[in-house]
A and B are shown apart, each in its own frame.
Chain A
């Protein structure tokens, strides 16, 4: 088994206390998923439904001078066509940056028009009949080009710097000048990254239907159904309670189904449905998913990091800048999270981070399994590695000396600073290095661990920290959970407006509720999320479920339990502490004397016939105010701690890299469900391996067209790329590493993804002795670095 769980004594004790938590309970929707009965958006078929198709721009930037859809409209079987002209007549609101259809297109694949017809073939034929005259405009893909280009959105900014949701783009701590003055070694590192894609299997899809002035939408947003309904309500200028969003199962998201592309497809379907007077389904294809779907935030980027240390290897100062092409719009959370990585991975007293997010002619940027830290780690680790190499230090020792640890102050880029409550990189790396056998394998910087023929082996490691509190959100997305008990049989239902994207969110929340209420997980269901009648907050993103949703569920279940017990105590006239809640037996009885009981239905009557519990997360992101360190008086908070060790084999004749071993390790606090944790670790590791070795969009620099818009040309890992003994997942389990959540657990998948990229990168360097300061590490780059490639750099922007 490639999953090691190393438990502390305290952890063992906790596991003994738990009945439902800590067990490898399969996903609560398992039956639906293995039988094909789980309804994804494309599985929704409405009576009299039409099929929609989207006309997309062949230009990376252009103005639509003329558009004539009359021939398309006249084609038999076509019901309606919409262009930007319909936006006004239909009263669709699209304040920037919410573009649905305008007279400008901002990237290849941007939406020009849409058609609804009796079937997809007719709709596609109609697209060809829409006559569009474009006036091509200058376009740019990279931040370097963007900085000197004309403003893309002059209505909001003159210098192409993205107006995102989360400025500022500059922060410093300490005094970097002094820090560099006190440094004995200073290194400068420049690093580049391409645009990378989520490549989930379910393409953007939506079904929309108007019933009078009510809009009904089936979709797969990663934001909650209520939030999605609010967005649609503002687009269509209708009351939010008239927008019914049914959040279907989500066929993979990884951040790429946050908001924009799903919202736009849903809005187009709703416009077509309105114009046609019939339900409309739009199912986009893989190419559309590729050209319209988000890319990782930060997008095409250049990182310049300067870092200094003293002779003993103590880091003194870092001055880091990131320039990124963020696409046609972005909320910019990823780029600022690169700053969080700089501030909170190593103890560096003097730090400065600047971000320059630019509008570029590519689709918007968004989270990809994590926000920013995965992109921010490789350049930081490259810089730190170079310091360690110059000092002749083993990287493990270097991290042990400099890594963030329990009690340190976490400087949050966007929020209040806090004192770290649990988790420590030095401790984690030390334990993981022993398991990996690092000391025996390590032969020094840029020295292969083994040579055989043209094959060179090397090892590497990397660390990362990541948010364990979600990300800051406006107040509207604080999590709320409502639990209902059926008084006739004691079964339980819970709601929040979020949908599991595969991380096991609904399973773990169900486990928490089952644990508090003392019931079997089989007696509890998560009601299908929809906007009307349900509370807000269950966004599934940013490693937040284990804190905010679990917290809300924990509070809801305890509130419910308290209400039931209090009422029963007054009826039975006993101390509430002596009562046992027996939901399965539909009664509450006196401990030690089960003949003295009250029926659940009686309690139900007291509460007006319904037994519900409501709970919300006390404070998003930072943890409850009440969590203060009694000694320092500082506010406490959590971060996830991650490391990854890699061993690779590089063939210096072909440039091919084989990952021989990849060991990821984390301190998750307590593991609430090992099946889910293992799934998340291994899934993240394999996904990340693909990103480091192969993935990356290649653009034709003359037209701005993505050239590898398919699973063949944008290769993601397949079954042939992984074997069981290649991957090891290690968890060091101790409740003190996640002190601030009810069951002492924190999210793990995103941070693993952040750490593992660079471990491969460092291992390749040690194998071949050449620094390649970009990724993916495709064979041609290896050969070029070795001076063996007679061919030039791939044409186009990578």
Chain B
């Protein structure tokens, strides 16, 4: 009897629609209608369902860039992206930046620290993810290109200049590594 019930549940689970997300290299399968609702944003899923609270929610309406994560290498606003839209995608968040083997900080993180590129730190995860996307596609950006790439990320504390310095410095560090 019990076995039959288990079969039923397992069967139901098999038939349930799942959203598959690869986040920082790890595969997550989330059951639609249970762990993910059609109206859940990626920011919500990351933070409240998966406990990945490194991604911050500022405005929650696409104006500040605090929630920036990378989807297949491109920066997106996770507060404006529905989790169901991310099925099968590769997501990178701030939690994935540490070198998983050595525990070392990513050069962008190091450069942010050395340049004093944050104060309250609320915009920082989003800033770092936007910087990562930029340096991935352009390892040697000019100041103009940096300003352009960071223009969707607001910071009320630093006045941005220390952030530009940090990205320049990070680019140098990363070029040195390859």
Contacts and interface: CB of A to CB of B under 8 A. Distances in A.
A631 interface: no
B120 A683 contact: no
Contacts of A716: 154, 156
Contacts of B157: 252, 502, 679, 683
Given A35-B105, A45-B51, A720-B151, A679 B121 contact: no
A286 B160 CA distance: 21
Contact of A36 (B57, B119, B125, B165): B125
Nearest to B60: A285
A683 B156 CA distance: 8
B108 to A, nearest CB: 8
Interface stretch (B2-10, B12-20, B25-33, B94-102): B94-102
A33 B121 CA distance: 5
A719 B120 contact: no
Nearest to B153: A719
A679 B61 contact: no
Contacts of A678: 116, 162
A34 B151 contact: no
B161 A722 contact: yes
Given A37-B54, A201-B56, A502-B120, A252 B162 contact: no
A686 B113 contact: no
A253 B157 CA distance: 9
Contacts of B95: 35-36
Contact of B54 (A36, A251, A682, A712): A36
B156 A724 contact: no
A752 to B, nearest CB: 11
A119 to B, nearest CB: 8
Given A26-B114, A252-B122, A687 B159 contact: yes
B53 A682 contact: no
A202 B122 CA distance: 7
Contact of A38 (B47, B121, B163): B121
A723 B144 CA distance: 9
Contacts of A793: none
B138 interface: no
Interface string A669-688: 00000011011001111110
B159 A711 contact: no
Contacts of A719: 146-148, 150-151, 153, 160, 163-164
A27 B121 CA distance: 10
Contacts of A727: 159, 161
A712 B164 CA distance: 22
Interface in A750-786: none
B70 interface: no
Nearest to B149: A719
B147 A201 contact: no
Contact of B122 (A201, A504, A724): A201
Contacts of A720: 147-148, 151
A40 B147 contact: no
B42 interface: no
B63 to A, nearest CB: 4
Interface in B92-147: 93-95, 97-98, 105, 109, 112-114, 116, 118-125, 128, 143, 146-147
A272 to B, nearest CB: 18
A78 B158 CA distance: 41
Given A34-B109, A34-B128, A36-B55, A718 B119 contact: no
A34 B157 CA distance: 15
A26 B157 CA distance: 16
Contacts of A722: 147, 159-161
Contact of B118 (A27, A253, A710): A27
B94 A36 contact: yes
B34 to A, nearest CB: 13
B174 interface: no
A259 to B, nearest CB: 18
Contacts of B66: 201
Contact of B123 (A30, A45, A201, A712): A201
Interface in B42-76: 47-48, 51, 53-61, 63-64, 66
Contacts of B162: 678-679, 682
B156 A252 contact: yes
A27 B164 CA distance: 18
A199 B156 contact: yes
A203 B122 CA distance: 11
A711 B53 contact: no
B118 A686 contact: no
5 contacts: A26-B114, A285-B59, A718-B151, A724-B165, A727-B159
